[in-house]
A and B are shown apart, each in its own frame.
Chain A
Amino acid sequence: MSDQATTAHPSLPGAAHSESAIAARSRMKTGHFKWKALIPALYIVFLLLPIYWLVNMSFKTNQEILGTLTLWPQNPTLRNYEVIFTDPSWYMGYVNSIIYVLMNMVISVAVALPAAYAFSRYRFLGDKHLFFWLLTNRMAPPAVFALPFFQLYSAFGLIDTHIAVALAHCLFNVPLAVWILEGFMSGVPKEIDETAYIDGYSFPKFFFKIFTPLIASGIGVAAFFCFMFSWVELLLARTLTVTDAKPISAIMTRTVSASGMDWGVLAAAGALTIIPGAIVIWFVRNYIAKGFALGRV
């Protein structure tokens, strides 16, 4: 575990480690440390309580949920999860969500890479305006776009396909990916490009063999944020799908209104939507903080 902790701050110069350990110890001596730890601890409890309640409910029978308020399931049951995993109209929702999220991630990062390279390395006609204009798309409320998107994608016969949702989510993910990648690329000295050209590398060979590995963490962070914002969005995903590509979160809302509140299944479905996010966070935990610090406004 301790080497994970060290890798959490790759930005710190190695020489500073021992010095800051001394500083940390001296801070402990003065008694600040205990009080300080209380704030994040309380904050995390506040974050986890509602999630715990959802998970707790997902293991209860509806009778118990509606009957008495119990802090943990008295008669733990897996029935709620069984309902989801045996019914394709439920579990296909997860598959659909994951398909369009992955598609969006690939598209966003693929088109953002060359653009971010251009913004970080070259000046060209209208570059600053273009960059700002891209960012304004991040400020566009999805509610504004719901109806025109529906008409546009209907015209192309794309309604109820995964690619439609993936493309629609590019509206806010592409600007974000360009922005994050541009920050990371600007952190790579330009001399590396020049040396590679002198050594006889062609541009594609340089880009994929030398440059891409250097900004691998940046690509990871950009992909993470694309995953995040595509996974959590509902308004556009719901508008553009009917049945075949319907995301799990939309299936949840439909079933809630139809079946007279099956609280247990609702809680189980909700609890399951937390898992993919949790897995992804675990993989990028060392880069989350770093990713935004390198971004540029």
Chain B
Amino acid sequence: MEKTWNNKAWFFVLPVLLLVAFSAVIPLMTVVNYSVQDSFGNNQFFWYGADWFREVLTSERFHDALLRNLLFSAIILAIEVPLGILVALAMPKKGIWVPVCLVLMALPLLIPWNVVGTIWQVFARTDIGLLGYTVDALGIDYNYVRNVLDAWVTVVVMDVWHWTSLVVLLCYAGLVSIPDAYYQAAKIDGASRWAVFRYIQLPKMGRVLLIAVLLRFMDSFMIYTEPFVVTGGGPGNSTTFLSIDLVKLAIGQFNIGEAAAMSLIYFLIILLLSWIFYTVMTNAGNDKPMTGGAE
């Protein structure tokens, strides 16, 4: 759409700016402020320069949490995105089952995150939970409180349960917006199922898929409540992701300076990785020969 150049539009944006300034800029400045100072208590602060940043960047604890979180996000994306596309493709396009499917699938998205944690904490317990009991009855030694692998499996399955529906809903939104003429043309051409997916459905889903990947990446990288409720970051530190580690540092140990420096590094990593995802995925979309005319 042709847009008019008009700087008065700033007045429309002003309420948002003021609100976000209050709820984002001021707190962020506080974090920056803390990250360059140290304190001996009594609210007496002194300049500490970039030392906190150096400390965080060289600390093994931060590296471990970062690697764990990267691994977690990678697993989550590798499972949820293909599974979400698969379910969206298999969903009925019309009929009485459409609203039923949509409502049931959206259900986990609207459960408070600590309740999600509670549900899985209970569900996976070997004494009172259906899943834990069943797995145990099958003769598999399963205990998410003691065993690192079991804890990871539980947290990953929980996240798949919680968030795959978001990918499904987004992909489904992309799929229903494809005009039937495309499929008819493909049928006349005798295109295979794979060709239809590769050259019609995938390009048309490109934009919503980008949103899905970005949202899933951001949220899995910021995950806090659910694993905290289920495993409390344990066993040991094996499920201590960045947010859990940050809260431990800031509130548990009250190490404000280091926590603030870690916050900023953490935020920058999310921004950087989101930007990389965005750039790579938009470029990949542009390279496809079929997308040009379709968009």
A, B assembled together: yes
Select from chain A the residue with minimum beta-carbon distance to B249.
Answer: A143
Say if the beta carbon of B103 comes within 8 Å of chain A.
yes
Given contacts A5-B99, A37-B90, A267-B122, contact A228 B19 (CB under 8 A): no
User: Is B24 close to A, CB under 8 A?
Assistant: yes
**Per-residue CB proximity of B1-23 to A under 8 Å, as 1/0?**
11111111110110111011011
Please indicate the chain A residues that have their CB under 8 angstroms from the CB of B147 in the complex: none
- The answer to whether residues A144 and B263 also contact, given A8-B94, A118-B12 and a CB cut-off of 8 A, is yes
Chain A contacts of B22 at CB under 8 A?
167
* Beta-carbon contact of B16 and A134 below 8 Å: yes
Instruction: Indicate if the CB atoms of B30 and A122 lie closer than 8 Å.
Output: no
Taking a contact as CB atoms under 8 Å apart, the answer to whether A40 and B20 are in contact is no
Question: Is the beta-carbon distance between A289 and B102 smaller than 8 angstroms?
Answer: yes
Number of A-B contacts (CB under 8 A): 324
Beta-carbon contacts under 8 Å, A1-50 to B: 1-2, 4-6, 8-9, 11-13, 16, 19-21, 23-24, 36-40, 43-44, 46-50
Are A144 and B31 interface neighbours, CB within 8 A? Answer: yes
Task: Say whether B104 contacts A122, CB under 8 Å.
Answer: no
Tell me, rounded to whole Å, the shortest Cβ–Cβ distance linking B242 to chain A: 7
B81 contacts partner chain A, Cβ-Cβ < 8 Å: no
CB-based contact B270/A141 at 8 Å: yes
**Which of chain A's residues have a CB closer than 8 A to the CB of B87?**
39-40, 43
B113 adjacent to chain A (CB < 8 Å): yes
Flag whether B108 is at the interface (Cβ < 8 A). yes
The smallest beta-carbon distance between A151 and chain B, in angstroms, is: 6
Whether A215 sits at the interface, judged by CB under 8 Å, is no
In contact, B225 and A285 (Cβ under 8 angstroms): no
A282 on the interface (CB 8 Å rule)?
Answer: yes
A152 CA to B26 CA, complexed, in Å: 8
Contact with B along A68-81 (1 / 0, CB 8 A): 01010000000000
CA distance A36 to B90 in the complex (A): 5
Residue of B nearest to A11 (CB): B177
User: Bound complex: CA of A11 vs CA of B204, how far in Å?
Assistant: 14
- Cβ of A100 < 8 Å from any Cβ of B? no
Q: Is the CB of B250 within 8 A of A47?
A: no
The winner among B119, B181, B266 for most chain A CB atoms within 10 A is B119
Q: Is A235 an interface residue (CB 8 A)?
A: yes
Q: Which residue of B lies closest to A117 (CB)?
A: B12
Interface bracket on B = 35 or more
Instruction: List A98-140 residues whose CB lies under 8 Å from chain B.
Output: 107, 110-112, 114-115, 117-125, 127, 130, 134, 136-140
Task: Please state if A53 and B93 are interface contacts (CB–CB under 8 Å).
Answer: no
A84 at the interface (CB under 8 A from B): no
Does A263 interact with chain B (Cβ within 8 Å)?
A: yes
Tell me which residues across on chain A come within 8 A of B229, comparing CB atoms: 253
Given contacts A49-B130, A142-B222, A270-B119, contact A148 B111 (CB under 8 A): no
Given the complex of chains A and B, what is the CA–CA distance between A123 and B6 in angstroms?
A: 6
**Across the interface, do B122 and A53 meet the contact criterion of CB distance under 8 Å?**
yes
Residues of B near A146 (CB, < 8 A) are 247, 250-251
| B173 located at the interface, meaning its Cβ lies under 8 Å from any Cβ of chain A in the complex | yes
Q: Are A292 and B122 in contact (CB under 8 A)?
A: no
Known: A141-B222, A277-B110. A123 touches B5 (CB 8 A): yes
B203 on the interface (CB 8 Å rule)? no
Residues on the B chain within 8 Å of A1, using CB:
96
State which residues 95-115 of B face A: CB under 8 Å. Answer: 95-96, 98-99, 101-115
Distance of A57 Cα from B119 Cα, bound (Å): 10
List of A residues within 8 angstroms of B30 by Cβ: 148, 151-152
What would 25 A/B residue contacts be, using CB atoms closer than 8 Å?
A: A5-B95, A5-B96, A9-B93, A36-B89, A44-B101, A50-B130, A65-B128, A114-B15, A115-B12, A122-B5, A122-B9, A123-B5, A123-B6, A141-B224, A143-B263, A145-B31, A152-B27, A152-B30, A174-B20, A232-B112, A266-B122, A274-B107, A274-B115, A281-B103, A292-B170
Interface residues of B (CB under 8 A from A): 1-10, 12-13, 15-17, 19-20, 22-24, 26-28, 30-31, 83, 86-87, 89-96, 98-99, 101-115, 118-120, 122-123, 127-131, 133, 161, 164-165, 168-170, 172-174, 176-177, 179-181, 183-184, 187, 207-208, 210-211, 214, 218, 221-222, 224-225, 229, 242-244, 246-247, 250-251, 256, 259, 263, 266-267, 270-271, 274, 278
The 4 nearest A-B residue pairs measured at CB? A277-B110, A148-B27, A293-B173, A118-B12
| Apart from the given pairs A8-B98, A112-B16, A168-B23, 8 other A-B contacts in the complex at a CB distance below 8 Å | A24-B94, A66-B127, A120-B1, A140-B28, A232-B110, A274-B110, A277-B110, A289-B172
